[in-house]
């Protein structure tokens, strides 16, 4: 597992991620493995983060994070 934490572009359908774009490539999400929310450290100015662990059509496993307060998607982790 590698921590990446870089901004990405995500396409949604019915409020679920279906594709994401990272380093010039587009990845199609084949299935969602898990999803959860994390309420950040309010004293540090963090808001709510929503996580999606997904498997792409190419077989890669990734963790996407949506920062609700900033309305930004990030590629958080890659699973080796």
Q: Is the pTM of this model over 0.75?
A: yes
* pLDDT confidence of residue 48: 94
Concatenated DSSP letters for 20-36? EEETTEEEEEEEEEEEE
pLDDT tens for the 80 residues of the chain, in order: 999 999 999 999 999 999 999 999 999 999 999 999 999 888 888 899 999 999 999 999 999 999 999 999 999 999 98
- For residues 28-59, b (16+ Cβ closer than 10 Å) or e, as one string? ebeeeeeeeeeeeeeeeeeeebeebbbebeee
């Amino acid at each position: 597992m590698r921590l990446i934490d870089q901004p990405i572009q995500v396409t949604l359908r019915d409020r679920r991620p279906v594709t994401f774009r990272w380093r010039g490539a587009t990845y199609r999400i084949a299935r969602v493995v898990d999803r959860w929310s994390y309420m950040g450290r309010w004293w540090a100015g963090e808001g709510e983060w929503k996580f999606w662990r997904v498997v792409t059509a190419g077989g890669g496993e990734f963790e996407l994070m949506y920062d609700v307060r900033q309305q930004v998607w990030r590629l958080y982790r890659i699973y080796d």
